[in-house]
């Protein structure tokens, strides 16, 4: 699903032009962020050519830290080097040179830490984050089923991907300590309520998870943070707290899903522009 709020500053600039200073400031940041995103893809591609040693494990946590480091490092490179891409985009869209202050801001390389859930729950914003490469590959292998579930239930395919990446890492036979099963980690009662006959069948599981997401989104009147929190902690906990409950696991889960959602949206934008 897409709405006016999901249109990027770059596309808005293309559609309407940029004349006022406030819009120019937003566009300056957008062009540098876009440059950083492309640098991140380059780093990911370069990392993929390096063969791992036998001592390195292909686990979810390690891949996540690598992905987060690449994103932070890409931002550092973009903001401290004159790569020219952000400048070229800005001039194409405005007819002006990108101000030197925007193109050459000096940053110290920040520590590699996940954004806090408080930032999401208080501001409603998320930091785009791409899931680890191995997780992306597994999730994308179910893209046809995800698209079909998205169309049937009216749930953003990117949200389904973000939940799947966070819940099971795209592993069809994942099972949690709480007996949640499959790609989107359905417990038996939820699976039964969603009409899932075989929770280990990827198509049934994904359709069941998408249907449950739709019910939660409707229940909380389109509030994605509350819907995602409910997927993790249950609707009762969210209703009791009137928002994301103060549970460490749930707050971290909401952070991860919302960041992945934004990362997938940026990735989709890049792929569409590339085509």
CA angle, residues 154, 262, 139, in degrees to nearest 5: 70
CA angle, residues 212, 215, 218, in degrees to nearest 5: 150
Distances (CA, A) of 198 to 146, 187, 193, 204, 257: 17, 12, 12, 7, 25
Neighbours of 200 (CB within 10 A): 13
HSE at residue 171, side-chain half, CA atoms within 13 A, is: 13
Predicted confidence (pLDDT) per residue in 209-250, tens digit: 999 999 999 999 999 999 999 999 999 999 999 999 999 999
What the chain holds in terms of domains, given with CATH numbers, is 4-113 (no CATH), 118-274 (1.10.530.10)
Residue 268, pLDDT > 70, answer yes
Is residue 167 annotated as a catalytic residue, yes or no?
Answer: yes
What's the whole-number mean pLDDT along residues 186-193?
96
Residue 13, pLDDT > 60, answer no
Determine which of 2-6, 78-82, 142-146, 166-170 has the lowest per-residue pLDDT on average: 2-6
What's the whole-number mean pLDDT along residues 47-52?
58
pLDDT score for 57: 47
More confident residue, 114 or 187: 187
Kindly tell me the burial class for residue 244, based on how many C-beta atoms sit within 10 Å of its own C-beta (0-12, 13-18, 19 or more).
buried
Distances (CA, A) of 210 to 119, 136, 151, 161: 26, 18, 10, 10
Predicted confidence (pLDDT) per residue in 124-137, tens digit: 456 788 899 999 99
113 phi, psi to nearest 5 deg: -135, 150
pTM above 0.75, yes or no: no
The single residue listed with the structure tokens 């990392």 is 47
Kindly tell me the burial class for residue 65, based on how many C-beta atoms sit within 10 Å of its own C-beta (0-12, 13-18, 19 or more).
middle
Radius of gyration in angstroms for the set of CA atoms belonging to the chain, rounded to a whole number = 20
Confidence of residue 3 (pLDDT cuts 50, 70, 90): very low
Confidence of residue 104 (pLDDT cuts 50, 70, 90): very low
pLDDT score for 267: 83
Mean of the per-residue pLDDT values of the chain = 75
pLDDT score for 269: 77
Give Cα 81 to chain centroid, integer Å: 26
Residue 122, pLDDT > 60, answer no
pLDDT score for 220: 95
What torsion, rounded to 10 degrees, do the Cα atoms 240, 246, 252, 254 define? 30
197 phi, psi to nearest 5 deg: -85, -40
Predicted confidence (pLDDT) per residue in 72-96, tens digit: 555 555 555 555 666 666 566 666 7
Exactly one of 21, 56, 167, 252 is catalytic; which is it?
Answer: 167
pLDDT score for 110: 37
Tokens of 146: 């995800």
What's the whole-number mean pLDDT along residues 109-117?
39
């Amino acid at each position: 699903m897409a709405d006016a709020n999901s249109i990027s500053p770059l596309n808005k600039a293309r559609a309407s032009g940029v004349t006022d200073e406030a819009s120019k400031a937003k566009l300056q940041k957008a062009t540098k962020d876009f440059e950083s995103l492309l640098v991140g893809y380059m780093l990911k591609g370069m990392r993929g050519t390096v063969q791992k040693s036998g001592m390195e494990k292909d686990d979810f946590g390690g891949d996540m830290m690598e992905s987060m480091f690449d994103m932070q490092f890409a931002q550092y490179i973009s903001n401290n080097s004159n790569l020219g891409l952000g400048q070229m985009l800005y001039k194409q869209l405005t007819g002006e040179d990108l101000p030197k202050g925007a193109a050459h801001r000096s940053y110290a390389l920040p520590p590699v830490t996940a954004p806090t859930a408080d930032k999401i729950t208080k501001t409603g914003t998320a930091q785009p984050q791409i899931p680890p490469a191995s997780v992306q590959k597994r999730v994308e292998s179910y893209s046809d089923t995800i698209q079909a579930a998205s169309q049937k239930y009216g749930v953003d395919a990117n949200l389904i991907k973000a939940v799947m990446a966070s819940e099971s890492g795209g592993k069809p036979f994942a099972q949690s300590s709480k007996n949640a099963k499959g790609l989107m980690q359905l417990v038996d009662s939820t699976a039964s309520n969603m009409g899932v006959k075989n929770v280990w069948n990827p198509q049934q599981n994904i359709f069941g998870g998408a249907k449950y997401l739709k019910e939660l989104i409707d229940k909380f009147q389109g509030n994605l943070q509350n819907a995602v929190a409910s997927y993790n902690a249950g609707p009762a906990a969210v209703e009791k707290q009137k928002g994301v409950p103060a549970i460490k696991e749930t707050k971290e889960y909401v952070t991860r899903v919302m960041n992945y959602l934004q990362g997938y949206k940026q990735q989709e934008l890049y792929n569409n522009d590339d085509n």
